[in-house]
Structure 1
Amino acid sequence: MKIGVLGTGAVGTAINSKLIELGHQVMIGSRDNTNEKAIEFVDKFDSNASSGTFEEAASFGEIIFNCIKGEFAVAVLKSVENSIQNKILIDISIPVDTSKGAPLSLIPELCNTNSLGEEIQKNLPDTKVVKTLNTMWSTLMTAPGTLKNGDHTNFICGNDDEAKATVKSLLNEIGWKDETILDLGDIVGSRGTEATVLLWLRIWGATIGTFSLKVVN
């Protein structure tokens, strides 16, 4: 499958590496096609890896991953809107406000009664937005079995059930078991999963080592 991954940070790099390992053709997208991080990343692989602009990666992919920083995500995605119409957009980003430094908070207009996932869907009505993988370390996103044999929870939400089923199949391929993927319903579920970053940061500050969340009932 051809997949476009927007963003060159730790999350984008982890997602790209796993997808290439699984045999998918991946294009990593950034603001311009001379991005050093993207070029260095692609040079590590013999095949199935390429780099380009956000627009080029969005056009290339049958499925798109949004790994852009939350504060810039909507503007970037709007700029490539025509290239992601009727496609599945897997949204991993979180609307963290980094302008004031620590302690971090969520962008006010993208929390409580709204979320980044919802805002993306509102701005891209013809794109099938699916929120997932945004409540854990980037390493766990693509290697869930490295912690408790994968016995922890990954949340998913979105308005299109068929799109969510496709994303669940891709998550299975990455290593997520069906019983560890919890469907929270429509894209409004993003309000909850994005807000967990505040708890996540506190847990991270109070513990040592890799951790994740698990729903027990």
Structure 2
Amino acid sequence: MRFGVIGTGTVGRTLAEKLVELGHEVTLGSRTKDNAAANDWADRAGPYGHAGTFAEAAEFGEVVLNATSGTVSLQALEAAGAERLAGKVLIDVSNPLVFSATGELSLEPVNTDSVGEQIQRAHPDAFVVKALNTVTAPVMVDPARIPGEHNLFIAGEDVEAKAKVRAVLEEFGWPAGAIIDLGGIEAARGMEMMMPFWITMMRHLGHADFNYSIRTAN
């Protein structure tokens, strides 16, 4: 399968690397064609890895992943082009984290909206699925880094799109039973609001190799 990854930071490169490792073809997209991180990654990735602009990555991918910061995701996807995203599954991995000059963390948007919802409204012809935003990048593609059973969450409006995302997550190593479908894209609010606690826990533990494990009475 062909994937377009929007964003060349740690998350984008980690996802792109894993997809190539699994035998998929990937274009890693950045704002400009001369982005050093994207070109360095493509040089190391072999024949299945390519560098390009946001627009080229969106055009290339049968499935597109938004791995940009949530505060700039709408602008990045606008540059990718609505016509190139139309009809495609768009996996939103972003979080709208805003850090003050003194290091205090907040979210924008929060409570009554989410980046996932904003993206779906801006791109009504794409099938947006929120996923992978509640774990650190290495755990996204290697859940076995954390011993025992733990969970990942997805949210989106389209059942078939979520099934495609589940298949990708299972390729990454997530057991089918570990993936919890929270319903429509509005559930992205709660998924994004988990991140301030996640940051607090990371600072407490001193590392990011942890995750949530949901237990129920039934």
TM-score normalized by the length of structure 2 = 0.95
| CA deviation map 1:90-148 (0-9, x unaligned) | 000011123545121101xx110100000100111000000000001110000001111
What amino acid maps onto 1:26 in structure 2?
V
Runs of 4+ with deviation above 4 angstroms: none
What amino acid maps onto 2:161 in structure 1?
A
Q: Secondary structure at the match of 1:65?
A: strand
| CA deviation map 1:50-89 (0-9, x unaligned) | 0000000000000000001111101221231110001000
RMSD (CA atoms): 1.0
Match of 1:72 in 2: 72
Q: Say if 2:92 is the partner of 1:91.
A: yes
Q: Say if 2:202 is the partner of 1:204.
A: yes
* Cα distance in 2 between the residues matched to 1:127 and 1:144: 28
* Cα distance in 1 between the residues matched to 2:203 and 2:48: 38
Q: Secondary structure at the match of 2:71?
A: helix
Equivalent positions of 1:96-175 (< 5 A) are: 96-98=97-99, 100-107=101-108, 110-149=109-148, 151-175=149-173
Match of 1:215 in 2: 214
* Cα distance in 2 between the residues matched to 1:131 and 1:74: 14
More deviation, 38-47/2-11: 38-47
User: Identity of aligned pairs, percent?
Assistant: 39
Match of 2:29 in 1: 29
What amino acid maps onto 2:85 in structure 1?
I
Distance 1:123 1:100, change over 3 A: farther
Match of 2:17 in 1: 17
* Cα distance in 2 between the residues matched to 1:59 and 1:101: 40
* Cα distance in 1 between the residues matched to 2:210 and 2:55: 35
Q: Say if 2:177 is the partner of 1:176.
A: no
What 5-or-longer segments of structure 2 have no aligned partner? none
What amino acid maps onto 1:84 in structure 2?
L
Deviation of the 1:178 alpha carbon: 0.7
Distance 1:118 1:47, change over 3 A: same
Question: Do 2:16 and 2:28's aligned partners in 1 also have CA atoms closer than 8 Å?
Answer: yes
Deviation of the 1:47 alpha carbon: 1.6
What 5-or-longer segments of structure 1 have no aligned partner? none
What amino acid maps onto 1:133 in structure 2?
L
Q: Secondary structure at the match of 2:68?
A: coil
Number of corresponding residues:
214
TM-score normalized by the length of structure 1 = 0.96
Q: Say if 2:67 is the partner of 1:54.
A: no
More deviation, 45-54/23-32: 45-54
* Cα distance in 2 between the residues matched to 1:119 and 1:213: 26
What amino acid maps onto 2:83 in structure 1?
N
Q: Secondary structure at the match of 1:216?
A: coil
